[in-house]
Amino acid sequence: MKVVNNVAALQAALANCPKEGVGFVPTMGALHNGHRSLVERARRENDTVVVSVFVNPTQFNDKNDLKNYPRTPEADCAILEAAGADIVFMPTVEDIYPEPDTRVFDFGLVDKVMEGATRPGHFNGVAQVVSRLFDMVKPARAYFGEKDFQQIAVIKAMVA
């Protein structure tokens, strides 16, 4: 398993991997068994498995939540190695956002109800980071926790 910390190193690690065989699991770290099963599924279905570990500032409404979000890179790497990841991408904020991302996605009602009602901007931030990560990894398949139903709806709308 290779751990890379910037976009250039990610792209070098992916250089010889056929694009149609790349499976991607985006995460914010603090990994648990749910993440592990996603990575194991990606392992079964792809030649190359990339996992990102990035605490995305643009999806936090509360800056204290961002500051206090658990960061456990060593434990995460141990889980990812056991689950069969090939490449772990742990970028800095500057790598993902060399300049502020001002894009505003229109999800209609989807991001205004349920969790979106109390966390304005949260799903827009998720879409910003997922679209940036997709541009960097260019996966053939991506894997998200199915319990995050609303997030999945937003991401589907973002890539549509």
In the complex, which residues of this chain contact ligand PAF (CB under 6 A)? Answer: 26-28, 56, 59, 126, 129-130, 148, 151
Cβ at position 64, least distance to ligand PAF in Å:
18
Q: Is 35 tagged catalytic?
A: yes
Identify which of residues 21 and 60 has a Cβ nearer to ligand PAF in the complex: 60
Cβ at position 26, least distance to ligand PAF in Å:
4
What gap in Å lies between CA 128 and CA 102, rounded to an integer?
Answer: 9
**What would the two tokens of residue 110 be?**
């989807």
Q: What is the DSSP letter of 6?
A: S
Identify which of residues 6 and 131 has a Cβ nearer to ligand PAF in the complex: 131
Closest by CA position to 25, among listed 54, 62, 59: 54
What gap in Å lies between CA 160 and CA 138, rounded to an integer?
Answer: 15
Q: Which of 4, 23, 27, 35 is catalytic?
A: 35
94-97's contacts with Cβ under 8 Å and 24+ in sequence apart are 95/5, 95/6, 95/7, 96/54, 96/56, 96/129, 96/132, 96/133, 97/57, 97/58, 97/132
**What would the two tokens of residue 64 be?**
């204290």
Cβ at position 40, least distance to ligand PAF in Å:
17
Identify which of residues 18 and 70 has a Cβ nearer to ligand PAF in the complex: 70
Cβ at position 16, least distance to ligand PAF in Å:
26
Identify which of residues 101 and 148 has a Cβ nearer to ligand PAF in the complex: 148
Catalytic residues: 35
